[in-house]
Amino acid sequence: TETTVDGLLGVFFAFLLLGWLGGDGSPFEMVLLALTAFTLSLTKSSGIAFVLMAAAAAAITALVRRRSPSLRGKKLACWLLLPLVSGVVAKQSWEFFLNCHDVPRRWHPSDLSLQSFMDLFHGKPQWRIDTIEYFGWNIFKDHNYGSVIHMSYALLLALLMLTGLGLYLLLQKADRIRFAPALLGASICAVLYTVSTLFTYLFWFAQSEAVILASLSRYLNTCLTSILIVLAACMGP
């Protein structure tokens, strides 16, 4: 069931990205995105992180679309904030429910503080340094994506981005305006997701799970699923 949930996270994440990056800000669209963010936050404890990453990508790419007459001023603010607020409300409502029923948490920050973060730059503790090195090695290690595709996460992600860039260059100018925000947003989310995954291992996972990068392939595949869906959708008419 965990694998199914992570795949579903990737689909919801891609849908939220496509709506935020390629939408026109209509009331119907805003409600649909708000419901998607709400559902994404409830799907898994890390769902709110996906909402925040999509919001960051949407905010940055909004600069690219600043000339759009349909998304300006208060409408632009609502377009960005409504889904974000919806995701936060969903997360807090679930936390409230868990607190009311005294449900123990499996995931929680482990020694997350400014001091523990600064200690990393001084090589302490050693297990976190080992985790960072092992994470970097795994990013460039060959992974099995089926009977045909065997390559590293970094290489596959780079190929997807280069494919998107190639498609962008082949498009007519009018189509580039629609494709550019999605390509930029997907690239931003890929970087944010990879960095946040490492951060999670360092400060959320137990040491015994962090040093072996438990379930790393599953987490990285969630990002790849989202990028594939976004690029495939942008290739459509």
For 180-199, write each residue's pLDDT tens digit.
788 888 888 999 999 999 99
Percentage of the chain beyond pLDDT 90 is: 32
Instruction: List the domain range (segments joined by +) for residue 175.
Output: 2-234
Q: Please check the confidence at residue 68 and state whether its pLDDT lies above 90.
A: no
Q: How big is the CA angle at 137 (ends 133 and 138), to the nearest 5 degrees?
A: 115
**pLDDT at residue 67 tops 70:** no
Cα end-to-end span (Å), the chain: 35
> Taking all residues of the chain, what is their mean pLDDT, rounded to a whole number?
84
Q: Are 49 and 89 in contact (CB under 8 A)?
A: no
Question: Does 166 have pLDDT greater than 50?
Answer: yes
Structure-model confidence comparison of residues 162 and 79, the more confident one = 162
What lies within 8 Å, CB to CB, of 157 at 6+ separation is: 190, 223, 224, 227
Distances (CA, A) of 94 to 53, 109, 213: 20, 17, 27
Q: Looking at the predicted structure, is the pLDDT value of residue 169 above 90? A: no
Rounded to an integer, the average pLDDT of 212-229 is 89
Look at residue 42 and tell me whether its pLDDT is greater than 90.
yes
Higher-pLDDT residue of 210 and 168 is: 210
pLDDT score at 110: 65
| E strand residue ranges, the chain | 142-144, 150-152
Q: What is the tally of structural domains in the chain? A: 1
CA 118 to chain centre: 25
What confidence score (pLDDT) does residue 29 get?
86
* Model pLDDT for residues 93-119, shown as the tens digit of each residue: 999 998 898 887 766 666 677 888 888
pLDDT at 192: 92
> How far is Cα 40 from Cα 37, in angstroms, rounded to an integer?
5
What pLDDT was estimated at residue 1?
36
pLDDT of amino acid 2:
47
3-class secondary-structure state, position 66? coil
- Return the CA Rg of the chain: 19
pLDDT of residue 63: 72
pTM: 0.85
What percent of the chain has pLDDT above 70?
Answer: 88
